[in-house]
């Protein structure tokens, strides 16, 4: 998908599920750390994912795996700038920046990026939502309990779906207060961010309740630890089949965007799952 088509997609209540490929320009991401730190390797991977069917590519320079430490904004910029200089002039698809820092997002928006993915939902940097508002770009607001450094230390909820839904509603409100139009907001339950296996499963089962907030949902299950817990697979790169099952579920249950590492197989999974889900709905209620 080209950047100018993304707003049309956002405004379409019958929008088809899109595939977002992950590009981590980091030394330490949980499943692909160190593979794409070199700008030429990152560019190659982005073009490859676009050719394989990625509608969007989410580029990040800070790992947020459980226990990870923060990467200062200037270091994120140092890693990202050469990659965006290569990709941003003629983006192969919609480019998204995965950061919680306004300074990093601003640099990326100046280099051909057209979507901001903020896992802190605008809480980390008070300048983020005003920046998004002033640039008129869409933003993903994600739920996270705590910070990556401590988020997996005994996370507890009384009713995880209700609490995450209420949090996302509050952050949607905060975005609107900052001047971001509602039509530019996407929401994300933050699979694996301060959640046990049971919490993640409840959130995936509860996607329709989250979708009832009326905004497109982005869901990232790809290669995550809960899949390893269920399948016994320790190596994140070998969690393809578990990822495929979760992506099929998401596509059939209201996810507007699935965030994945393995674009080619997951694009096929999305296409088939979505077609079956749509065939079961009367035309007027198709999403
Ligand atoms: N998951 C990761 C990073 N960013 N953004 C959104 N909106 N939703 C997610 O589920 C999400 C995200 C973690 O995956 P990855 O980028 O591969 O790992 P790391 O944080 O170690 O770089």
What is the residue extent of each domain of the chain? 3-66+73-279
* CA 11 from centre of chain: 19
Beta strands 255-260; 18-24: pairing state: parallel
Identified catalytic residue from 79, 145, 224, 239: 224
Is the pLDDT assigned to residue 227 strictly greater than 80? Answer: yes
Confidence of residue 284 (pLDDT cuts 50, 70, 90): low
Average pLDDT, the chain: 95
Q: Which residue has the higher pLDDT, 103 or 147?
A: 103
Q: Which residue has the higher pLDDT, 133 or 281?
A: 133
Is the pLDDT assigned to residue 67 strictly greater than 80? Answer: yes
Cα of 70 to ligand 1 centre, how many Å? 14
Confidence of residue 66 (pLDDT cuts 50, 70, 90): confident
Query: Active-site residue 281, yes or no?
Result: no
Ligand 1-lining residues (CB < 6 angstroms): 22, 24, 26, 29-31, 60, 63-65, 98, 117, 119, 140, 142, 188, 190-191, 218, 220, 259
Alpha carbon separation from 113 to 79, 98, 147, 158 (Å, rounded): 15, 11, 25, 38
Which atom of ligand 1 is closest in space to residue 65's alpha carbon? 21
- The hierarchical CATH code for the domain 3-66+73-279 is 3.20.20.20
Cα–Cα dist 144/192, whole Å: 8
pLDDT for 121 equals 98
CB proximity list for 72: less than 8 A, separation 6 or greater? none
Is the pLDDT assigned to residue 283 strictly greater than 80? Answer: no
Confidence of residue 255 (pLDDT cuts 50, 70, 90): very high
The 3-state DSSP class for residue 219 equals strand
pLDDT for 202 equals 98
pLDDT for 32 equals 86
- For a mutational test of ligand 1's pocket, the pick from 69, 70, 98, i.e. the residue with the most ligand atoms closer than 8 A to its C-beta, is 98
pLDDT for 285 equals 53
Q: Cβ atoms within 10 A of the Cβ of 82, count?
A: 15
Identify the residue whose C-alpha is closest to ligand 1 atom 3: 64
pLDDT for 138 equals 98
Average pLDDT over every residue of 158-169 = 98
Identify the residue whose C-alpha is closest to ligand 1 atom 15: 29
Identified catalytic residue from 81, 86, 259, 274: 259
Cα of 220 to ligand 1 centre, how many Å? 7
Identify the residue whose C-alpha is closest to ligand 1 atom 1: 220
pLDDT for 150 equals 83
Confidence of residue 149 (pLDDT cuts 50, 70, 90): confident
Beta bridge partners of 97: 59, 116
Q: Which has the minimum average pLDDT: 44-53, 60-69, 165-174? A: 60-69
Locate 134 and state its tokens. 């002033």
Q: Which residue has the higher pLDDT, 282 or 248?
A: 248
Cα of 225 to ligand 1 centre, how many Å? 12
| Predicted model pTM | 0.96
Cα of 280 to ligand 1 centre, how many Å? 32
Which atom of ligand 1 is closest in space to residue 29's alpha carbon? 21
pLDDT for 278 equals 86
Burial label for 52, CB within 10 Å (0-12, 13-18, 19+), is middle
The count of C-alpha atoms lying within 13 angstroms of the C-alpha of 15, restricted to the half-sphere facing its C-beta, is 24
Question: Could you tell me how many helices (H) and strands (E) the chain has, helices first?
Answer: 11, 8
- For a mutational test of ligand 1's pocket, the pick from 49, 61, 64, 266, i.e. the residue with the most ligand atoms closer than 8 A to its C-beta, is 64
Average pLDDT over every residue of 87-114 = 97
Which atom of ligand 1 is closest in space to residue 142's alpha carbon? 7
Query: Active-site residue 195, yes or no?
Result: no
Locate 44 and state its tokens. 């190659």
Q: What is the pLDDT of residues 164-214, one digit of tens each?
A: 999 999 999 999 999 999 999 999 999 999 999 999 999 999 999 999 999
């Amino acid at each position: 998908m080209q950047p100018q088509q993304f707003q049309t997609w956002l405004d379409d209540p019958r929008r088809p599920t899109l595939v977002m490929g992950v590009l981590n320009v980091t030394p330490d991401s949980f499943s692909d750390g160190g593979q794409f730190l070199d700008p030429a390797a990152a560019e190659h991977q982005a073009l490859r994912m676009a050719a394989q069917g990625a509608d969007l590519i989410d580029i990040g320079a800070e790992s947020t795996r459980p226990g990870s430490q923060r990467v200062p904004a200037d270091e994120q910029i140092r890693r990202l700038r050469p990659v965006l200089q290569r990709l941003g002039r003629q983006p192969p698809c919609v480019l998204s920046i995965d950061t919680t820092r306004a300074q990093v997002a601003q640099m990326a928006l100046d280099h051909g990026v057209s979507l901001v993915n903020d896992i802190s939902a605008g809480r980390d940097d008070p300048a983020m939502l005003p920046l998004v508002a002033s640039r008129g770009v869409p933003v993903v607001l994600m739920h996270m309990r705590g910070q990556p450094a401590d988020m997996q230390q005994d996370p507890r909820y009384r009713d995880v779906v209700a609490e995450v839904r209420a949090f996302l509603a509050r952050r949607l409100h905060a975005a609107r207060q900052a001047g971001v139009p509602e039509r530019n907001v996407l929401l994300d339950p933050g699979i694996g961010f301060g959640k046990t296996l049971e919490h993640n499963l409840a959130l995936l089962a509860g996607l329709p309740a989250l979708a009832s907030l009326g905004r497109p949902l982005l869901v990232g299950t790809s290669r995550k630890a809960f899949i390893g817990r269920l399948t016994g697979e320790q190596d994140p790169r070998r969690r393809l089949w578990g990822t495929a099952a979760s992506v099929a579920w998401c596509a059939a249950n209201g996810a507007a965007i699935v965030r994945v590492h393995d674009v080619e197989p997951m694009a096929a999974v999305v296409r088939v799952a979505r077609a079956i889900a749509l065939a079961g709905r009367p035309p007027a209620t198709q999403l």
